[in-house]
Amino acid sequence: MKISHKIATGAVALMSAAALSGATAPAIATPQTKAPQSATPTTAKETTVELAAACPGKWKKAGGIPRKWSTAKDKQCSIFGRPGYKAVYQWSAVRGKPCIMVLGFDSKGRDKWHKAGCGAKGAIKVPWGNVAANKTIKIKGASLIEWR
């Protein structure tokens, strides 16, 4: 069965929020080693460690084409924002000098694209608001980049 990206992101956000709050245990816990069915379920603290390990600051690759915006999304990790939080984007061109736009969110949770500039490399901090979402970047220009 195919699950839409929005539903999957929402389910991950709800399970993560429950695990991080400590008020309840996650509905589904996967032990790290194979164990019999009578094994003790993973605690909220152990789940938090697994979540942190699943989202390293790993560089992703993306490419742009001339005169058109190409979009790349970090599909592995979500950012759980809060009022005043700023997400950091970094990029480095392997080939070309692209123009970059990055996704952020205002204090009311509305998405907003921020111009990050053009060039071989750069970084920008953007407001994230009280939103759980994936980082997304737009690239314009014939180029190959690495970003995080």
| Domain range summary for the chain, segments of one domain joined by + | 5-54, 60-147
**Average pLDDT of span 86-103:** 96
For residue 118, what is the enclosing H or E element?
strand 111-118
The predicted pLDDT at position 57 comes to 74
**DSSP secondary structure of 59-115:** -EEEEEBTTBEEEEE--S--EE--TT-EEEEEEEEEES--EEEEEEE-TTS-EEEEE
pTM of model > 0.75: no
pLDDT at 29 over 50: no
The predicted pLDDT at position 77 comes to 86
**Average pLDDT of span 118-145:** 96
**Average pLDDT of span 18-37:** 42
Highest mean pLDDT out of 28-37, 76-85, 93-102: 93-102
| Confidence band of 9 (pLDDT split at 50, 70, 90) | low
pLDDT at 65 over 80: yes
What's the rounded Cα separation, in Å, for the pair 3 and 1?
Answer: 6
pLDDT at 48 over 50: no
Residue pair 124/114 in contact (Cβ under 8 Å)? The answer is yes
pLDDT at 70 over 50: yes
